[in-house]
Amino acid sequence: MDFDANIGYLRLAFWHIVLTAGPVLGVALAVGLFIGLIQAATSINEMTLSFVPKLVIVLGAMALMSGFMLTQMTDYFAYIFGEIVAIR
C-alpha cells in the first residue's frame, strides 16, 4: 500500500462524512438562520425559542434521512472491509 492509496482512502472517508452529516447540518444551519432572523426582527432573545424548534426539526431531518445515511455508511464500511481483506 503506497501513500497515494492512503490519500485516496482519506479522501473517500471525508467525502462520506460530508454526504452523511451534510444534509442534517444544512437543515440545522437553515433553521438556526431563520430563527435568528425572526429573533432579530422581533427583539425576542429567548434561548428556548431557538433551541426547541431546531432540536425538533433536526431530529425530524435525521429520521427522514436515516435510511440514506445508513446506506452511505454501510456501503463505505463494506468497501473498506473489502479493501482490508484484499491486502492479505
47-80: pLDDT as tens digits: 888 889 899 999 999 999 999 999 999 999 999 9
Write out the H or E segment, with its range, that includes residue 44. none
Contact 54, 32 (CB under 8 A): yes
Classify residue 25 by its DSSP letter.
H
Per residue in 18-54, pLDDT tens? 999 999 999 999 999 999 899 889 888 888 888 898 9
Count of H helices and E strands in the chain?
Answer: 2, 0
Q: What is the pLDDT, as a whole number, of residue 1?
A: 67
In the chain, the number of structural domains is 1
Q: What is the pLDDT, as a whole number, of residue 80?
A: 93
Rounded Cα gap, residues 48 and 56, in angstroms: 12
pTM: 0.79
Query: What residues make up the domain containing 65?
Result: 3-87
Cell digits of residue 27: 437543515
- Classified as helix, coil or strand, 43 is coil
